Amino acid sequence: MNTTQWLAHWRDQLRVKQAAGEYTDWLRYRLDEAETALANGVALSARELPRQHNGFIREGVLRRHLERGDESALAYCLVCLNDSVASLRELARGALEQRLVAASAESLLANLDLLLDLQRKMRADHSVALASIQERLREPALRPTLLQALPGLSGREARFVFSTLMAEGNLDAELLGTALAHPDPTLRTQAMDALGKAPSELAGPLWRRALMDRSGRLRAKALYALLKGEPDAAELHSWLETALLDSSPAVRDLARWAAPRHGVDAPAVVRRALEQLPEDRAHWHGVLGQAAELRMEESVPLAHQALATPLPSVRRKGLQVLMELAPEHASEASLVLLDDAAPGVIVAALLALKRLRHPAFEPALQAEIARRAVEDIPGSLHLILMLPSGAQSESLLDGLCNAAEDQRELWLQAFQSWRQRWRPNRYWASAAPLKARLEGLRDRQLIPEEELTALIRLL
């Protein structure tokens, strides 16, 4: 039945209902709207189709694309599989079964987003259709195209293609290698999980590639697999020496645990690394991190050098090492870093002063809170949380009083949040001064009257 015959069929149905005295205004209106739209060549993409309220138009558009017989009909079939009209779902299901046999890999890949959306939709049972599509994707003729397209797919789409191709348990070195090089960390994790079941002759070269993964957690997983699967490998000492100076704590911890079991002297490796200046951020973190974990005081001079690097994360790491190995030097370094250009370094310096119970901590913190209140209100509010709860209210009120009118809402929300955490029985000493200050703010109307009255009553 083509589109013209289908519309004629519904016109006949309309006349039958009218002759029977049934209410037909709604049906007649929808049919008239559909006939007009289809006659004018309504152009709706597959992704726009679900937003069309008229079911006759949705079915008419699907039928028009089915009559053309091109590959664009596949997208409309996938969309209509979850349509609210049962007859339209059945039409789409039947058409999909006919077209899947000849569907190309390119058309399936172009509509992967619709296919993945279908997995999450529950208006009907799509398991049979999804299984048919996955079976088509697994056909040997399509595999080269899918493998070639895999690196360019987004994470969700790439994971679907990978799991589809791996469903038969066929451990393909090319597929695993492509997945291990994909930007999506979840896909790389899935590939490593599959690699753990592969024979050593296939897995060994791929595990070696995985040692260079951008994720520290996955590098640690690859190193552990090699330690377990190839304990007598000639490169084992080299792997462990490199891993001891890795930027990831997970990799360093594993290497430090494995080093004595394989005759590698971890402190000696770190001492050699301390003799020269690290080349980049990762090397800085690796050397300083392992030296701190081994409690090697020889790293203190390098930590001082780290404070002068242009890399903020390295400056923070240098201060962290000083705090752990030479706290007597950390207070002076923290005071210097209070003037750092990077906000994260300033916060690290403040936390160090707080941990050292330095008398300069609170004045420096208040100065930084006031400075950030002008240009970075969320950052200022974050720093206020470093104050004792009883002292936070004063800083919040200072910020509220000094803020511009369009910025007061943020401070007021933070003050309301503080009020929910306030425990008068724990901070009774500061309750009276706070109450007096709130009474003084009544005339300025910075805090809603009901909120102010309730807070004063609470105190």
Region 375-397: mean pLDDT is 78
Distance CA 453, CA 430 (A): 18
Query: Could you write out the DSSP letters of every residue in 234-258?
Result: TTHHHHHHHHHT-SSHHHHHHHHHH
Token readout for 335 is: 């005071």
Distance CA 245, CA 301 (A): 18
Residue 18 has pLDDT above 70, yes or no: no
pLDDT (0 to 100) of residue 245: 95
In Å, the largest CA–CA distance within the chain is: 99
Cβ-contact 32, 40 below 8 angstroms: no
Amino acid 445 reads Q
In terms of average pLDDT, the best of 49-63, 179-193, 347-361, 400-414 is 179-193
In terms of average pLDDT, the best of 21-30, 161-170, 301-310, 445-454 is 301-310
Residue 13 has pLDDT above 70, yes or no: no
Region 3-9: mean pLDDT is 64
Cβ-contact 245, 286 below 8 angstroms: yes
CB atoms under 10 Å from CB of 25, counted, come to 7
| Selection from 325, 319, 361 nearest residue 342 by Cα | 319
Residue 427 has pLDDT above 60, yes or no: no
* Burial class of residue 309 in the structure, from the number of CB atoms within 10 Å of its CB (0-12 exposed, 13-18 middle, 19+ buried): middle
Distance CA 1, CA 12 (A): 15
pLDDT (0 to 100) of residue 3: 63
Distance CA 64, CA 134 (A): 26
Map residue 448 onto helix, strand or coil. Answer: coil
pTM for this prediction: 0.75
Helices (H) and strands (E) in the chain, counts: 28, 0
Distance CA 325, CA 339 (A): 23
Cβ-contact 318, 306 below 8 angstroms: yes
User: 163 vs 157, 250, 381, 455, CA distance in Å?
Assistant: 10, 28, 45, 57
pLDDT in tens, 240-284: 999 999 999 999 999 999 999 999 999 999 999 999 899 899 999
Residue 377 has pLDDT above 90, yes or no: no
Token readout for 283 is: 């090397």
Of all residues in the chain, the percent with pLDDT exceeding 70 is 85
Region 325-332: mean pLDDT is 88
pLDDT (0 to 100) of residue 309: 93
Residue 392 has pLDDT above 90, yes or no: no
Match 């007598």 to its residue by tokens. Answer: 232
Cβ-contact 258, 225 below 8 angstroms: no
Residue 397 has pLDDT above 70, yes or no: yes
Residue 112 has pLDDT above 60, yes or no: yes
pLDDT (0 to 100) of residue 300: 92
Map residue 89 onto helix, strand or coil. Answer: helix
Mean pLDDT score of the chain:
83
pLDDT in tens, 171-195: 788 999 999 999 999 999 999 999 9
pLDDT category at 116 given cuts 50, 70, 90 is confident
pLDDT in tens, 55-101: 778 888 888 888 887 788 888 888 888 888 888 888 888 888 888 88
pLDDT (0 to 100) of residue 125: 81
Range with the lowest mean pLDDT among 54-58, 228-232, 326-330? 54-58
